Structure formats: structure tokens, C-alpha cells
């Protein structure tokens, strides 16, 4: 019988890594290399100062609200790239189960961008930022999600 392979995506807005587990007691192995999005300054992403507007009635000026939060937009793009990559892997049946570990905002972005193939394999979500936790220290954080419902 084939072992169940579980992928664990650990991500935040600009860092991610995928680990694989083949069952209870098994070690977590890094799949590929860690992913990093460029964390650029707002002025490099788009206009960093809000535009100015003149009141038509009395000629006074005021700042206009920016239309785009460029950092949030970059985080959304990063989450979309991760979700599309997971979709491709799910369609190839590279993994059987998927555990998502990310801060709540990033989890929402991943859910919104994920296609049906990867979404169907999600077995658990952990709303925490564990990107800075070393691989050998992850088991206590993941144990419940990893082995719930595993054969």
C-alpha cells in the first residue's frame, strides 16, 4: 500500500517553504528550496506618497488616499504564485494531503487563489507564522494537524 504523503506549506507574506511528511513519526523533509518574494520599499513598488487634490470651493489642498497598498498587493501576488504551484503539484498527484500554516491574512489569500485540485487536499490550516521556526522544532506545532485522520 502506498504511503500517504503530506505537504506542509509554511508561509508568510514573503517567505515560504514546503515540507513533506510520509506518516506519523517520520521526519519532515524540505521539498525544493525555500521561496522568497522581494521585500522592496514602497517607493520601489509604486507611488509612496499620496497625491494632492485642490478643493474646488475654496482652493484648499489635501492629501488623497492611496488606491493601492503596494506591500499588501505584493503579498497577494506571492500567495497567488504559491497557490498556483500547489495546484500544479496536486494535479500531478505529488502529494495526498496538504496542511497550510500561515498568518490569517496570508491564509485567506492562499484560499482565494487556490484551485480545486489543491483545495480538495487541504486537511488542516494553522493560523500562525512559523516561517522563523527551525525544521527540527516544528513537530510540536504541527503534530495535531499532521496526524489527524492519517492512516
Residue 38 pLDDT greater than 80, yes or no: no
- 100 has which bridge partners? 9, 125
* Whole-number percent of the chain with pLDDT over 70: 73
pTM: 0.78
Please tell me the class of the 6-39+68-147 domain: alpha beta
Domain extent listing, the chain: 6-39+68-147
pLDDT of residue 103: 95
Amino acid at each position: 500500500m502506498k504511503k500517504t504523503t503530506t505537504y506542509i506549506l509554511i508561509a508568510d507574506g514573503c517567505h515560504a517553504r514546503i515540507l513533506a511528511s510520509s506518516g506519523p513519526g517520520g521526519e519532515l523533509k524540505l521539498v525544493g528550496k525555500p521561496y522568497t518574494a522581494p521585500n522592496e520599499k514602497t517607493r520601489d513598488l509604486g507611488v509612496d506618497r499620496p497625491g494632492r487634490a485642490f478643493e474646488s470651493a475654496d482652493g484648499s489642498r489635501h492629501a488623497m488616499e492611496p488606491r493601492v497598498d503596494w506591500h499588501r498587493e505584493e503579498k497577494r501576488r506571492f500567495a497567488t504564485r504559491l497557490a498556483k504551484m500547489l495546484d500544479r503539484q496536486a494535479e500531478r498527484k505529488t502529494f495526498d494531503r496538504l496542511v497550510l500554516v500561515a498568518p490569517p491574512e496570508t491564509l485567506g489569500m492562499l484560499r482565494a487563489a487556490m484551485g480545486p485540485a489543491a483545495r480538495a487536499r487541504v486537511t488542516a490550516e494553522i493560523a500562525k507564522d512559523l516561517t522563523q521556526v527551525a525544521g527540527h522544532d516544528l513537530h510540536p506545532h504541527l503534530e495535531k494537524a499532521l496526524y489527524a485522520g492519517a492512516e
